[in-house]
Structure 1
Amino acid sequence: MLSSNQKRRLTSVQIIVFSYVALILVSSLLLCLPFFHNPGISLSYIDSLFTAASAISVTGLTVITIHEVFNQWGILFLTLLFQVGGIGIMTLGTFFWMLLGKQIGLEQRIWIATDHNRSTLSGLVDLMRNILVMALIIELIGTILLGSHFMIAGYYTDWYDAFYHGYFASVSAFTNAGFDLHGNSLLGFTHDYIVQTIVMLLIICGAIGFPVLVELRTYFSYRRAKARFTFSLFTKITTLTFFSLIVIGAVLIYVFERQHFLADKSWDESLFYSLFHSVSSRSGGLSTTEISLFSTPTLIMLSAMMFIGASPSSVGGGIRTTTFFVLIATVFANMRGYKDVKVFGRELVDEDIMRSFVVFFIAIVLVFMAVIMLVWLEDLPFQHILFEVCSAFGTTGLSTGITTQLGAPGKLILIIIMMIGRVGIINLLLFLKRDDRIARYHHPKERIIIGQ
């Protein structure tokens, strides 16, 4: 046990990371209980740990078939883990704290800011309330739409089964958890474009970032009041990058697969196969076909998309879309001879540029190390291992089907990568960071040769 003095020395980042780790460990023990299992089913601890980590990191990689192992209580418990992992442990913590009539103090606000990657403490309680309300409303709408369609289309004749599956699918899609109750993701809805469209919209709402959703709601309220509203630079960059990656991903999937997987598909099938998997690679993790059927160029491209991941302060992982944008903008500015990076009439802060390159470098090293370890430990194709690692880091959950073939060491590696993808590279660095030190002196500066 930590002493009171040691507890005080824990930073907000360390508290958040330890909270997620503790939640995974507790959840893994609970998921081992027979109360959550179907009759005659037992679950090994490593598989329970992997499932808990995948659920809380809202990744969706699984080493078991969910509906075969867990009963309805176990499945409902999993959806609760999706909420905690997707919306954020501090969002739900703030909600329950307020229900108890407690004041949100400075320390709690710092924890909230850390969990949601916010640089300011102002308006955090309202932000948490808005996030929770919007998440519940979006999930409710998704449940109603999917449940109603499941009944009308004849997937389920009983209303309870229809809305039960609609609820799970809605929560899984919005939190980008990527879990399913059918054991084959959305392969049963390959030609159901209504289900695919609803799921894509839910994935986008979860992955584009809560600040963007809050600003969008504020925009419409201002518009009703006929007042002027200006979107923040964050929202402009996030929206541009997010939807550009979706379009680029869809086009590349079509180009790479038109002579392969899509060769015998109609134009509408090609469109939805390309678009759905491009959207899902943001962080959704659901698929309408077996991913292993895609060609190697598509798998590598999707690996890159999952590595980039979703937007900051969203339910997704990866290096995040804003990081990718800053990298590209900095490179282009440098190519044009500019020392400053200017976008949308604003100039990026040097610290943010430096952070973006640090995040990118650390992420590359982590993925590279994980791939090397798995290639060494597992006798599996390289491109499939790369795909699996990027899926874990981006908390995406798309898989070529090798997850169940991994041994215990391989599963532990993916668990670590999934958790790093969930808490973020910046929080990882801050978690390991020592106290700030002020240099008492400087050495003479000297230029070195770079890049040639």
Structure 2
Amino acid sequence: MPPKSKKRRLNSVQIIVCFYICSVLISSLLLWMPIFHKPGVQLTYLDALFTASSAISVTGLSVIQIDLFFNHAGIILLALLFQVGGIGIMTLGTFFWLLFRQKIGLEQRIWIATDHNRPKLAGMVDLMRNILLLAVIIEVAGTLLLGSYLLLRGYVDHWYMAFFHGFFASVSAFTNAGFDLYGNSLLDFSHDYVFQTIHMLLIICGAIGFPVLIELQHYVLHRRVKPRFTFSLFTKVTTATFFTLLVAGALLFYLFERGAFLADKGFIPSVFYSLFQSVSARSAGLTTMDISMLSTPTLIMMSLLMFIGASPSSVGGGIRTTTFFILYATILSYMRGYKRVKVFGRELADDDILRSFLVFFFAISLVIAAVILLAWTEGLPMEQLLFEVCSAFGTTGMSTGITASLSPTGKIIMIVLMVIGRIGIINMLLFLKKDDQITHYRYPTERIIIGQ
């Protein structure tokens, strides 16, 4: 008798990917239900699927106006979906395991590490506790600040509605979801710099990465006991790259638009327009202006920022700041004649360098393929398509206004991009990767001509 074939079990990456895909499908069915709609509203399943994908991937692209389609229950459901996508399925799963006093075994710890792209299993449960605690503190603080401000400034008459709007805005900004209840993002607050500043702080807290926030928390709490606190290489690289790109994006925005959109604006408004768009382009998608009014150089520059995205183990997407840094550092080291890549007194691992180039190549290929397909199906200007594709892949949510007019095929392409952007390129590569092949021989090595 032939030997019985072993059933192939799903690995941790495949399980996490399936979790996210299932969460999108379940969320789409919930958002499609009339119980979450305003009276007389009809929502197609494709639009419900698009909205669910955008919410779970915390992107913010939308083919409908949220406040016109969903009632209070639907808006609260959306806010909960932001938490699933922003904080992570396994973080919330850990919360429920702890709440019901369930044992978190080795397999569950592997799932948690996979979801948050962590190389080690040690301290996973404590990490999830810290992430949940930080998220709750930041979102509650944001709700109180925004709700109180909306009430004091008279934007909203009733205290309940003020804090309801504050809650949704706080969760949307911190998780970098990019959804709003005003129908035009934050255009109504384009001259309210306090409101914008609160949003920018929430966006940065979500996009800079949970490991950075946790290390900063440890530094603040233990600086008296341990005055010579040493930040990890990850935190140094992430923070340096994040804020360098933020400042560079704001400067380039001002440079490109000072003779165009900013031509009739004063210095302070120009600074806030430039800074807010740079902060939001990293992953949040909220805007204080009509993006379609921007010049082509600015659209391309912001497409690059969205393509790079936020930090690893954060609420954002894109290729991530560390990937961009490693690519840049590797090229710079090669040009200087070094065989090894050294940063902040440390050497980068060869495996991390290889992964960075794999992520970059896969992401570039994905974006190019999506732009070509959309150019074929939609027939829209190339810079708008590139901007929209980078916005979906980077889970940003900024739009030049073409999202709602996309064909069903175009919407499906954008849904795929948003889901891949949330899952992450590394997880997608591992999801598609076959089992390691063991060979007991090697072929002779031969050099080939490269690059010229």
Which bin holds the TM-score, normalised by the shorter protein?
Answer: over 0.9
Per the TM alignment, residue 226 of structure 1 is displaced from its structure 2 partner at its CA by 4.4
TM-score, normalised to structure 2, is 0.98
Partners of 2:381 and 2:426 lie apart in 1 by: 31
C-alpha displacement of 1:181: 0.3
Contact 1:310-1:320 at 8 Å conserved across structures: yes
- Preserved CA contact (<8 Å) 1:29 1:48: yes
Partner of 1:355: 355
Task: Tell me which residue corresponds to 1:327.
Answer: 327
3-state SS, counterpart of residue 241 of structure 2: helix
For residues 45 and 291 of structure 1, what CA distance do their matches in structure 2 show? Answer: 28
Shift of 1:440: 1.6
Q: CA deviation at 1:311?
A: 0.2
Q: Distance in 2 between matches of 1:151 and 1:239?
A: 34
* CA displacement, residues 62-105 of structure 1 (integer Å, 9 cap, x when unaligned): 00000000000000000000000000000000100111111110
Stretch of structure 1 that moved more, 360-369 or 221-230? 221-230
* Structure 2 counterpart of 1:258, one-letter code: R
* Superposed CA offset, 1:424-443 (max 9, x none): 11000000111111122101
Q: Secondary structure at the match of 1:449?
A: coil
Who is 1:57 aligned against? 57
Contact 1:60 1:395 in 2 (8 A): yes
Q: Offset of 1:379 from its aligned partner?
A: 2.1
Question: Match of 1:446?
Answer: 446
Counterparts of 2:30 and 2:6, CA distance in 1: 29
Residues 241-252 of structure 1: pairs in structure 2 closer than 5 A = 241-252=241-252
Over residues 302-361 of structure 1, what are the superposed CA-to-partner deviations in whole Å (9 max), with x where a residue is unaligned?
000000000000000000000000000000000000010000000000010010001000
- Cα shift readout 1:388-434 (whole Å, capped 9, x = no counterpart): 00000000000000000101110000000001110111000000111
Q: Give distance in 1, aligned partners of 2:107 and 2:402.
A: 43
**2: CA distance between counterparts of 1:225 and 1:197?**
33
d(CA) in 2 for partners of 1:427, 1:6: 25
- Is contact 1:222–1:228 with CA below 8 Å preserved after alignment? no
Q: Which secondary structure state, in structure 2, belongs to the residue aligned with residue 289 of structure 1?
A: coil
1:39-438 matched pairs, under 5 angstroms: 39-438=39-438
The match for 1:25 is 25
Distance 2:352 2:440 in 1: 25
Deviation of 1:449 (Å): 1.4
Displacement, 1:53?
A: 0.2
Post-superposition shift, 1:448?
1.3
In the alignment, the residues of structure 1 paired with residue 6 and residue 79 of structure 2 have an alpha-carbon distance, to the nearest angstrom, of 34
Q: Give per-residue Cα distances to partners, 1:264-315, cap 9 Å, x unaligned.
A: 0000010000000000011010000010011000000000000000000000
Q: Distance in 2 between matches of 1:224 and 1:420?
A: 43
Aligned-residue sequence identity (percent) comes to 69
Name the CA distance, whole Å, in 2 between partners of 1:188 and 1:262.
Answer: 17
Determine the C-alpha separation between the residues in 2 that align with 1:405 and 1:342. 48
3-state SS in 2 of match to 1:9: coil
How far residue 381 of structure 1 moved from its aligned partner, in angstroms, is: 1.1
Partner Cα distance (2:406, 2:246) in 1: 30
Q: Which amino acid aligns with 2:245?
A: L
Structure 2 runs not aligned, ≥5 long: none
Give the RMSD, CA atoms, in angstroms: 1.0
- Could you tell me how far apart the structure 2 residues matched to 1:439 and 1:170 are? 53
What letter is aligned with 1:439? Answer: T
Deviation at 1:366, TM superposition (A): 0.2
Q: Is the 8 A contact 1:309 1:321 kept in 2?
A: yes
Deviations 1:365-388, CA, capped at 9 Å, x for gaps:
000000000000002111101000
How many Å apart are 1:240 and its aligned residue?
0.1
Offset at 1:224? 3.3
